[in-house]
Amino acid sequence: MKKRILMGLTTLALVGTLTGCGSKKNKTLTCTQTIEVDGMKTEEKLVYKFKDNKVTKLTETRKVIFDGEMKDLLDEYKGSAKESVDSFKEIDGVTAKTDTKDNTITTTVTYDAKKVDSSLKDAQLLNESYESIKDIKGQQNGYTCK
């Protein structure tokens, strides 16, 4: 009976250790922010992927929603979004796309931390830790980070 209890406790400890270690190595931090100004709403979502507390990937998604009188600016903003996305095509480690549906323009930019240059890493906080990004984006820049 004692052997069974001891084996059961050992198994539980081993399973707990293995699952605990795996969850600490890979993390995701999602930061969101919504700004509304005069009929234009911007929803931004930043998703940082970490391995061993180092950023491996950042995906930025920005939705701009035009309502009311601001709908007249939709085509102009669509052109700007396309130019912005086209400029990213020249940068190693970055992919970008834009999409328009009804009155919403969505732009998505993905940064591969292993491939982008050091100045871009600094600008996008790709050299920072999980807690540091959470502090910078959350407390200093008004994002909600989880």
Structural domain harbouring 97: 25-145
Q: Is residue 8 part of a domain?
A: no
DSSP 11: H
Helices (H), the chain: 2-25, 74-88, 118-123, 130-133
Q: Is residue 16 part of a domain?
A: no
Q: Is residue 5 part of a domain?
A: no
Q: Is residue 9 part of a domain?
A: no
CA torsion sign for 24, 25, 26, 28 is positive
Q: Is residue 57 part of a domain?
A: yes
Distance in angstroms (rounded) separating the CA atoms of residues 81 and 25: 35
CA angle 17, 52, 123 (to 5 degrees): 155
How many domains does the chain fold into?
1
Residues 113/126, Cβ–Cβ less than 8 Å: yes
pLDDT (tens digit per residue) in 15-68: 443 444 444 689 999 999 999 988 899 999 999 999 999 999 999 999 999 987
Q: What CATH number does residue 66 fall under?
A: 3.30.1830.10
Distance in angstroms (rounded) separating the CA atoms of residues 7 and 20: 20
Q: Is residue 13 part of a domain?
A: no
Confidence grade of residue 128 (pLDDT, cut at 50, 70, 90):
very high
**Looking at per-residue confidence, does 117 or 77 come out higher?**
117
pLDDT higher than threshold 50 for residue 10: no
Q: Is residue 105 part of a domain?
A: yes
Q: Is residue 131 part of a domain?
A: yes
